[in-house]
Every structure is written in structure tokens, then in C-alpha cells.
């Protein structure tokens, strides 16, 4: 009691000093605690926070390289890059995305598919990076948006270069198109090169030469603030623009061929025999590749798919047709070379052919028969019986072996997409796929290009070019040269020479070619209607391939057959004979007679090409 009432100054000071020391020690403890914490953050976890800090401020922006352009052999632009406007929405800067979309929809057209795509992209977008809502805005839409822009924070225009095909549907099956890159494609390509890219070659040359056309992605390391606004560039690697392609396609010839094909479905391939350069590659009907660049609307795509003619189907490379009579020159050549028939040997044609011990009649297209027929006449008049006889003598093994030399049944290796192999039947093939033996009757119809045999128009054109070159084989290709935009160098594409076909006698080439000349220029030639006013000599062969199997003793009646079931009309040709500049193969689906339908198309195409390049006086 006493102590608590009387102030003891001495004791009080002593007590205070003790407490001050305790306080000082506590201060040391607290400050040490802070230092330990700061040591932990700044020294121990420094690397972690440094990364976070850089993640905060440094963004890697990729710069898309300009895609290489595509030209025809004379420098006409076939694929170019056009500046277009797209509308980007930066979600972080938009309060209410749904409302914004509705409001924007009142100003510009926003389809359901746009919104779907947008929502998908929204899920994987990086913070403060715009997500494309609409691409390819029209000028009207850009203007309308510009006025209302203040109402939409976080909504921006983006200018970009977009692929454009100035020729529209022309040559679409050679060039192909680019489209929005999809997941599967990202897996296929070096995705680091496609960081900034939205498009990739989907089909055709655009896809085949994707790597050259694409170029190399550029990178920009930029510093951004908390709003994601770019403040400065820290580091920059400029993009390397893609290389330009100069195709061997002659755009003028291509257009002529497409025009000549008219409304028919079918295909046409024209090749320069000496080089293998593809001059025209037509598949009818065509389609406009431009909508695919921006993402074709579902309805338009369905319409394309549903159309009976299947415009997207590349008939020139993927279409596998029975070649019909245009195989006859090759069978004939094989017959001569394997000495199964003599140069002057005649076969008597009475309108049909009978296999020994068989009842079945193998008919000639001409009911009355061609009578005495040698190789030249057999080609000119397309006598079936002659080739039944020849095929029977040769047997399927020799036929297979010989036609194989011309590349039938194999891909030619052309530098664009969609090529198929066709089918060159053999005993082995039949055993393998059908597990049955080969029948002699099948050899006969193979002799006239029917039966199992299938070939693509490209194979037909390529084989015709080889024939024109008398055995010198060139790989068909569409790339003539490639131009490096950085160095300015233009590099010619190399001509790939395959192993030449050497016959026992070179005269056999001449014999066959003279027969093909008769087709066009002969009095009885199946394509004589196109031959009378040619200023040069053309070798050709008509073909009419059966689509509809007619029963024994039944008559083929064109009038009463639905168009779908009508024969395909084929024609293969090259000209001039002495110094071949162009080889062509044509198929007009359900066109009927090759001589009447396909041959005139070939005439227009060859005329155009030779007259343009070599003048009217070419021989």
C-alpha cells in the first residue's frame, strides 16, 4: 500500500530505463522481422517476382510477315494481299460485352457465326489483346462505326492485309486459297511461326508452297502499362516476307480453256511437253475462293457442298476417269514395241471381237466394222476390234508393264494438292484387292481404256506430253520460278526429268504419232471436224468413256439416256507435231462423243496458245 501511494522517483527512473531497453530490443525484433520479410521477398524470391514483374510489363507481339504473291507465267497477279478492316474488341476495356455486341449489331451486320467464333476466341485470348469480332468490313460499315466510335470503348479497327484473288474463280483449282488457321493445322505447322497469323494455305499451291509463301514471323518485345497500352519497343525482330511464286500457268490460256469448257463439268490440263510446265489446269465447275479467306458463311458453304457438280472437287488432279480410247496410242505403241503386232499388220474388224471359246461379243463402236485395219487406221478411226486383238496378244502383264512407263497408276508428283493415283490394273492388283484371278476379257477392255483402268486428266496430259516428246518424260509442275523479296533474286524452278522411255525402234513413235495426226487431219479421223482449218499439224486422240454399262445386245441410245449416264467425252492432243509446244488432255463429263465435244475445246485452247506465242504461221 505504501509503495503505491508515494512516488519513488529513483525507482521510477530505473524502471523506465529497463522498460526503454526492453522497448529498444522489441524495436530491434520488429525491424528484424521486417528485414527478414523483405529479405525473403527481395533476395530469396527475387527471381519469382522479377518474372512476375516482367510478365506484367513485357508482352511479346508477333508481326505477321506479308504473304508472298502469286503470278502467272507472264506476271499477271493471281493472288495478292489487300488491306482490309476488321473490328477488334478488347474485353478488358469493355464493361458489358453482350450489350456492346447488341449495340454494335445495330450499326454493322454481325452474324450468329461471328458471335460464335468471337466467343470461342474470347476464351483463349491474352489479356488486353483484341479479339476479332468481324473481319472484312465494308467501307460503309467502317464509316458508320467511325462516327459511333466514342460509344464503344475497347472496340477498335484493325487494318490487315488479306489475301485476295483478283481472278476470282479462274485457276482456283491450281492456286487454291488461304483460310483461317484451325487447330489441326496449328498442330501440323511450326506453331511459333503462326503466332501472329490468322491464315494458312488450305489447298492448291497456297498450301503446297505454304512455307515459302508464309515467310518468317517477326517479333516485338514491347513494354505495356497496366492498361495494356504499348509504351515502347524493347526489342524487335522484323518479319521476313514470304516469297513470290511465279506459276507456269498462262492466265490467258487458262481463261480461254475455262471459257471453252462452257457449262460442262470436266477438266482440262495443258502442259508444255519440253519442260513439264502446266500451262492450264481447269476443273469445271469452278468456285470463287475469296469467301473462304474471310470464312465462308455456313449457308454458302452448304450450297457449294450440296451442288451436284461439286465445284470444290479438283477434277484435273483428283478426278479418276476411265480414259477410254485415248489409251489406244499407248497400247498401240506397246504392241509395236513388244512386237505383238507389225507396223503394217492388218486386223480384220467385222464390228465385234470374239475370244476363243467364248460366246460374248466384244463390240466395236462401229456396228458395221472397220474391215481391214492397220495401226494408223485403228488410231484414226479408233477401231476397238484392232485393240481387242492387240490387247489379247499382249496380255495384261505386258500392257501393265508398258503403261507403267508413262506414269499411269502413279502420282505424277505435281506441286499442288489433291493429286490421286488413278488405277492401272494388273494381275497382281486384282489378286490383292479382289482376290480373284484376271480374266482374258478384262484384258480386252483394258486395251480400249475401259474396265478397271482409271486415270486423272493430269496423267493423261502428262502421258500425252511424253508421247509428244517421244519418250522424254518431264514431271508436270505449276511453279515456274520463285522470287525472294529480300534479296530480289528470282530462282527458276528446276525441270525434273524422269527416266526416258526407250523403244526398240524410234520409228514406232512416228507411227503412232502419224496415226494420231490422222485422227485430226485424216479423211476418216474421229476429230476431223477440227482439223480442216488448223494452221499447224496436231496429233490427237478422241475418247468416249462408258459411264453406264450397257448390257449385251443392247443399243447405246444417247437420246434416251439421262445426262448423268451419258458417256464422258475425252480428247488428248499435242501440237505442233514436229516441235510440240503444248499437250492437252480434256474430259467433258457426260459430254457424249469425244470428237464432237472435247476436240473443239482442245482446238480453241491450242489455237490460242500457239497463235499467241508463235504467231499464225506456225507449222
Partner 1 sequence: MARTYINDLDSQESGGLRILQAIHLDPPLTIALLLLTACGLGVLYSAGDQNIDLIIRQSTRLVLAFGVMILMAQIPPQNFKLWAPWIFLLSIILLTFVLILGDVGKGAQRWLDFGFVRFQPSEMMKLAAPMMVAWFFADKALPPGYKNLFVSLVLVVIPTMLIAKQPDLGTSLLIAASGFFVIYFAGLRWRMLASFGVLMTALAPLIWHYMHDYQRRRVLTFLNPENDPLGAGYHIIQSKIAIGSGGLYGKGWLNGTQSHLDFLPERSTDFIFAVYAEEFGFLGVMLLLALYFFIVIRGLIIASKAQDSFGRLLAGSLSLTFLVYLFVNVGMVSGLLPVVGVPLPLVSYGGTSMVTLMAGFGMLMSINSHRRLLRK
Rule CB under 8 A: which residues touch partner 1?
3-8, 12-13, 15-17, 19-20, 23-24, 27-28, 30-31, 33-35, 37-39, 41-43, 45-46, 48-50, 52-54, 56-57, 223-227, 231
With contact defined as beta carbons under 8 Å apart, do 89 and 131 qualify? yes
Show the cell assigned to 27. 524495436
Question: CA-CA distance, 520 to 514, in Å (whole number)?
Answer: 10
The minimum distance between CB 227 and partner 1, in angstroms, equals 7
The DSSP result for 464-512, as a single string, is HHHHHTTT--B--BSEEEEE-TTT--EEEPPP-BPPPP--S-THHHHHH
Quickly count: other Cβ atoms within 10 Å of residue 468's Cβ: 28
Nearest to 203 by CA among 165, 172, 234, 228: 172
Q: Which helix (H) or strand (E) holds 79?
A: strand 77-89
Please identify, using beta-carbon distances, which residue of 127 and 342 lies nearer to partner 1: 127
Please identify, using beta-carbon distances, which residue of 7 and 306 lies nearer to partner 1: 7
Within 8 A by CB and 6+ apart from 248, the residues are 73, 272, 275, 277, 278, 279, 477, 478, 479, 480
Please identify, using beta-carbon distances, which residue of 225 and 500 lies nearer to partner 1: 225
Please identify, using beta-carbon distances, which residue of 30 and 343 lies nearer to partner 1: 30
With contact defined as beta carbons under 8 Å apart, do 442 and 424 qualify? no
Please identify, using beta-carbon distances, which residue of 49 and 74 lies nearer to partner 1: 49
The minimum distance between CB 149 and partner 1, in angstroms, equals 24
Q: How far is residue 123 from each of residues 91, 113, 288, measured CA to CA in Å?
A: 11, 16, 32
Tell me the backbone φ, ψ of residue 363, rounded to 5 degrees.
Answer: -80, 150
Please identify, using beta-carbon distances, which residue of 4 and 436 lies nearer to partner 1: 4
Question: CA-CA distance, 47 to 144, in Å (whole number)?
Answer: 49
Tell me the backbone φ, ψ of residue 554, rounded to 5 degrees.
Answer: -95, 150
Please identify, using beta-carbon distances, which residue of 5 and 523 lies nearer to partner 1: 5
Q: Rg of the Cα trace of the chain?
A: 37
Quickly count: other Cβ atoms within 10 Å of residue 555's Cβ: 7
Q: What is the dihedral of CA 468, 470, 471, 473, to 10 degrees?
A: -40
Please identify, using beta-carbon distances, which residue of 34 and 523 lies nearer to partner 1: 34
* 52 three-class SS: helix
Nearest to 269 by CA among 580, 574, 612: 574
Tell me the backbone φ, ψ of residue 468, rounded to 5 degrees.
Answer: -60, -35
Question: CA-CA distance, 284 to 262, in Å (whole number)?
Answer: 9
Please identify, using beta-carbon distances, which residue of 227 and 357 lies nearer to partner 1: 227
Show the cell assigned to 355. 475370244
Question: CA-CA distance, 580 to 572, in Å (whole number)?
Answer: 13
Please identify, using beta-carbon distances, which residue of 103 and 223 lies nearer to partner 1: 223
Question: CA-CA distance, 302 to 469, in Å (whole number)?
Answer: 44
From the list 86, 248, 325, 593, the catalytic residue is 325
The minimum distance between CB 10 and partner 1, in angstroms, equals 12
Our answer to whether residue 382 is catalytic in this structure is no
With contact defined as beta carbons under 8 Å apart, do 85 and 142 qualify? yes
* 618 three-class SS: coil
According to DSSP, the residues that pair with 162 across neighbouring strands are: 82
Please identify, using beta-carbon distances, which residue of 56 and 486 lies nearer to partner 1: 56
The minimum distance between CB 51 and partner 1, in angstroms, equals 8
Q: How far is residue 49 from each of residues 40, 52, 55, 59, 221, measured CA to CA in Å?
A: 11, 5, 9, 16, 19
* 59 three-class SS: strand
Question: CA-CA distance, 608 to 610, in Å (whole number)?
Answer: 6
Q: Which helix (H) or strand (E) holds 245?
A: strand 244-247
Which positions are catalytic? 325
Amino acid at each position: 500500500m505504501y509503495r503505491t501511494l508515494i512516488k519513488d522517483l529513483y525507482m521510477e527512473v530505473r524502471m523506465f530505463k529497463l522498460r526503454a531497453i526492453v522497448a529498444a530490443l522489441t524495436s530491434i525484433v520488429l525491424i528484424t522481422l521486417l528485414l527478414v520479410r523483405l529479405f525473403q521477398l527481395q533476395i530469396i524470391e527475387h527471381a519469382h517476382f522479377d518474372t512476375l514483374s516482367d510478365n506484367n510489363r513485357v508482352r511479346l507481339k508477333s508481326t505477321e510477315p506479308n504473304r508472298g504473291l502469286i503470278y502467272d507465267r507472264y506476271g499477271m497477279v493471281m493472288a495478292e494481299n489487300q488491306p482490309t478492316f476488321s473490328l477488334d474488341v478488347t474485353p478488358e476495356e469493355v464493361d458489358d460485352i453482350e450489350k456492346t455486341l447488341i449495340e454494335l449489331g445495330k450499326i454493322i451486320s454481325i452474324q450468329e457465326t461471328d458471335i460464335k467464333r468471337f466467343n470461342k476466341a474470347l476464351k483463349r485470348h491474352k489479356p488486353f489483346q483484341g479479339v476479332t469480332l468481324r473481319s472484312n468490313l465494308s467501307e460503309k460499315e467502317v464509316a458508320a462505326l467511325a462516327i459511333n466510335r466514342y460509344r464503344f470503348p475497347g472496340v477498335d479497327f484493325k487494318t490487315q492485309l488479306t489475301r485476295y484473288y483478283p481472278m476470282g474463280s479462274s485457276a482456283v483449282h491450281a492456286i487454291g486459297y488461304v483460310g483461317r488457321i484451325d487447330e489441326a493445322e496449328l498442330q501440323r505447322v511450326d506453331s511459333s511461326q503462326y503466332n501472329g497469323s490468322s491464315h494458312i494455305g488450305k489447298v492448291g499451291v497456297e498450301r503446297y508452297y505454304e512455307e515459302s509463301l508464309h515467310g518468317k514471323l517477326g517479333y516485338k518485345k514491347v513494354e505495356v502499362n497496366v492498361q495494356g497500352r504499348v509504351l515502347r519497343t524493347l526489342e524487335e525482330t522484323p518479319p521476313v516476307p514470304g516469297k513470290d511464286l511465279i506459276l507456269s500457268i498462262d492466265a490467258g490460256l487458262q481463261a480461254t480453256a475455262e471459257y471453252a469448257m462452257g457449262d460442262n463439268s470436266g477438266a482440262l490440263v495443258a502442259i508444255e511437253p519440253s519442260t513439264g510446265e502446266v500451262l492450264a489446269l481447269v476443273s469445271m465447275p469452278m468456285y470463287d475462293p475469296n469467301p473462304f479467306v474471310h470464312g465462308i458463311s455456313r449457308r454458302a458453304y452448304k450450297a457449294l457442298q450440296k451442288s451436284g457438280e461439286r465445284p470444290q472437287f479438283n477434277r484435273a488432279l483428283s478426278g479418276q476417269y476411265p480414259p477410254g480410247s485415248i489409251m489406244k496410242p499407248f497400247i498401240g505403241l506397246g504392241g509395236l514395241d513388244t512386237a505383238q503386232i507389225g507396223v503394217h499388220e492388218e486386223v480384220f474388224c467385222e464390228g465385234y471381237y470374239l475370244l476363243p471359246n467364248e460366246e460374248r461379243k466384244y463390240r466395236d463402236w462401229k456396228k458395221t466394222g472397220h474391215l481391214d485395219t492397220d495401226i494408223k487406221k485403228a488410231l484414226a478411226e479408233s477401231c476397238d476390234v484392232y485393240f481387242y486383238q492387240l490387247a489379247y496378244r499382249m496380255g495384261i502383264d505386258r500392257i501393265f508393264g508398258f503403261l507403267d512407263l508413262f506414269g499411269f497408276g502413279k502420282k505424277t508428283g505435281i506441286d499442288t494438292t489433291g493429286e490421286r493415283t488413278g488405277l492401272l490394273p494388273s494381275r497382281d492388283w486384282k489378286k490383292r484387292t479382289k482376290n480373284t484371278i484376271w480374266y482374258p476379257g478384262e484384258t480386252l477392255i483394258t486395251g480400249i481404256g475401259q474396265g478397271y483402268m482409271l486415270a486423272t486428266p493430269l496423267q493423261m496430259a502428262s502421258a500425252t506430253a511424253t508421247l509428244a516428246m517421244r519418250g522424254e518424260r518431264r514431271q508436270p509442275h505449276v511453279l515456274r520460278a520463285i522470287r525472294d523479296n529480300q534479296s530480289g533474286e528470282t530462282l527458276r524452278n528446276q525441270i525434273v526429268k524422269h527416266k526416258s522411255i526407250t523403244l526398240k525402234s524410234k520409228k514406232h513413235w512416228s507411227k503412232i504419232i502419224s496415226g494420231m495426226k490422222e485422227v485430226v487431219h485424216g479423211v476418216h479421223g474421229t476429230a476431223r471436224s477440227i482439223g480442216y482449218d488448223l494452221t499447224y499439224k496436231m496429233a490427237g486422240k478422241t475418247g468416249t468413256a462408258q459411264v453406264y454399262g450397257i448390257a449385251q445386245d443392247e443399243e447405246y441410245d444417247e437420246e434416251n439416256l439421262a445426262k448423268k449416264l451419258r458417256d464422258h467425252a475425252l480428247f488428248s492432243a499435242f501440237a505442233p507435231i514436229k516441235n510440240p509446244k503444248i499437250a492437252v488432255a480434256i474430259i467433258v463429263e457426260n459430254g457424249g462423243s469425244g470428237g464432237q465435244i472435247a476436240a473443239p475445246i482442245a482446238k480453241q485452247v491450242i489455237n490460242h496458245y500457239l497463235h499467241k506465242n508463235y504467231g499464225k504461221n506456225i507449222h
